[in-house]
């Protein structure tokens, strides 16, 4: 079945529900003492994984849209990107408020001692830039620069699982799986881009001839 604009409303509604449900579930866990022995670290980890999962889903949209010829799915990328930003914001807010208790001097010390925090902040700066420029009015004003800026999502996709990998002291299997998934998704996109470039070059030569 080919999805159309009539289905877009329900697709977006489903994305909203799926994205918001884990946040509500986290609140319930915290209120009912179900967040384990260290709820602060649980919240930080939970929101970080939420951002990473949403980022992976975002990267899957274009390959799925091409594979199943469902171009309407492309219109969900902005929403998914904003949810990546929401989860990343909750992740940082939990770290700064619950773990560091807004001790900014301690935050600077943590940055010096733990390089993964620097990587995480780079990821967040990229997310801020992508979120602000996701507005249609800014997209029109920026022209080609908009696409150049939003290509940073690929750098974000590489840095986010590395941030996760460096942040864990043990149990590196989970972040390694994320790194593998992201690399595979980026490889698929690179292969498609290469084929598209070859096809466009063939068309150019054909019309010139």
The 10s digit of each residue's pLDDT in 47-89 is: 999 999 999 999 999 888 988 889 999 999 999 999 999 999 9
**Which residue is listed with tokens 């908009």?**
146
The 10s digit of each residue's pLDDT in 85-140 is: 999 999 999 999 999 899 988 888 887 788 899 999 999 999 999 999 998 889 89
Q: Is the pLDDT of residue 196 over 70?
A: no
Spatial distance between the Cα atoms of 174 and 161, rounded to a whole number of angstroms: 10
101: left (phi over 0), alpha (psi -120 to 50) or beta: left
Residues 133/150, Cβ–Cβ less than 8 Å: yes
Question: Residue 139 belongs to what domain range?
Answer: 5-208
Lowest mean pLDDT of 75-89, 123-137, 148-162, 181-195, name the range.
Answer: 181-195
Q: Which of 29, 75, 80 is nearest to 52 (CA)?
A: 80
Under the banding of pLDDT at 50, 70 and 90, the label for residue 171 is confident
Q: Is the pLDDT of residue 202 over 50?
A: no
Q: Read off the pLDDT of each residue in 12-40 and give the average, rounded to a whole number.
A: 96
Q: Which of 50, 72, 52 is nearest to 62 (CA)?
A: 72
Q: State how many domains the chain has.
A: 1
Spatial distance between the Cα atoms of 150 and 22, rounded to a whole number of angstroms: 27
């Amino acid at each position: 079945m080919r999805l159309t604009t009539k289905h877009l409303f329900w697709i977006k509604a489903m994305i909203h529900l799926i994205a918001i449900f884990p946040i509500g579930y986290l609140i319930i866990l915290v209120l009912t003492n179900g967040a384990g022995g260290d709820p602060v670290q649980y919240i930080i980890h939970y929101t970080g994984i939420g951002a990473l999962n949403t980022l992976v889903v975002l990267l899957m949209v274009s390959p799925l849209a091409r594979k199943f010829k469902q171009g309407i799915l492309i219109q969900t990328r902005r929403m998914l990107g904003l949810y990546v930003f929401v989860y990343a914001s909750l992740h940082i807010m939990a770290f700064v408020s619950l773990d560091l208790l807004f001790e900014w001097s301690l935050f600077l010390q943590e940055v010096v001692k733990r390089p993964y925090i620097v990587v995480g902040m780079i990821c967040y700066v990229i997310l801020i830039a992508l979120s602000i420029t996701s507005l249609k009015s800014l997209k029109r004003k920026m022209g080609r620069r908009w696409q150049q800026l939003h290509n940073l999502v690929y750098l974000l996709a590489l840095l986010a699982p590395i941030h996760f990998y460096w942040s864990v002291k043990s149990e590196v299997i989970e972040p390694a799986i994320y790194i593998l998934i992201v690399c595979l998704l980026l490889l698929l996109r690179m292969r498609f881009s290469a084929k598209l470039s070859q096809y466009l070059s063939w068309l150019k030569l054909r019309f010139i001839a």
